[in-house]
Amino acid sequence: MMSDEYYAMAAAKRRGLGLVKFIGNLYILNMLNDQVILHCLRDQSKNVVDPSEDALENLAQLIKTVGPRFETSDRNKAALNMIYDNIQQILDNCKISSRIRFMLMDLQDLRKSNWKSIKSEAGPKTIKEIHNEAELKRIEDSRASAEKRRQNKSGYNSGNYNSGDSRSNSTRGGSSWGNRKEPRAPTKDSRGFTSVSRSQSNRPVPEQSASTSTMSPRENSKRTDSMASNIFAALDDEDAGH
């Protein structure tokens, strides 16, 4: 449990920060001149040996409030350079808490970024903002699900197309076997020679005797008739001898 003294110091600190912010807003409204703000800045940053953390916190609050408008003139820019030189000396030589150190470093980054705060001070969201974010999230989810369905459908159609090609190829291959033509029977020309097609010439033929393979059908018939006449002549000679 905190003591009453701690609560009194915290309240005084809040009042001091509020007063500094109030002075800065008066300057923005042109109710205070540059000399007043410059005097406050120098007073809060003059101790570079053992500065008070409350003074440094007041300095940071005042610079954040008046910095963008105060640096519009060259004279004020030169004065602000001296203030930032004191801040750098405090960071290099003084032992301060991490919270105050990071606060002063944020002041340096704020000026380098042309007084555009990277960490915007956002308050609590309104009901309208919450509804808008929920609607945007719903739209993004619906788009993602639609894209997923489209990709799945595209992959399914691609698979069916490939399988249909394989089936059609197999059907065409099977039908080619059924449509094979039977070999033609050899035909004879007018001279009695057997005509053989080019496709049949490559097939092995059964072996034939030399006499059959070298004679035509007409020569074979003549040879058969001569053999028969020779046999009958031999029989006639035997009958005459007896």
Confidence band (pLDDT; 50, 70, 90) for 229? low
What distance in Å separates the CA atoms of residue 177 and residue 235, rounded to the nearest whole number? Answer: 62
> Averaged over 160-186, what is the pLDDT?
53
Flag whether pLDDT at 146 surpasses 80: yes
Flag whether pLDDT at 18 surpasses 80: yes
Q: What percent of the chain has pLDDT over 90?
A: 26
Flag whether pLDDT at 209 surpasses 50: no
Q: What is the CATH number of domain 9-112?
A: 1.25.40.180
> Averaged over 79-108, what is the pLDDT?
92
Flag whether pLDDT at 175 surpasses 70: no
Identify the weakest region by mean pLDDT among 69-83, 144-158, 192-206. 192-206
Confidence band (pLDDT; 50, 70, 90) for 29? very high
The answer to whether the pTM exceeds 0.95 is no
User: Quick one: pLDDT at residue 193?
Assistant: 52
**226 vs 52, higher pLDDT:** 52
Tell me the average pLDDT of the chain.
Answer: 74
Confidence band (pLDDT; 50, 70, 90) for 231? low
Residue ranges of the domains in the chain?
9-112
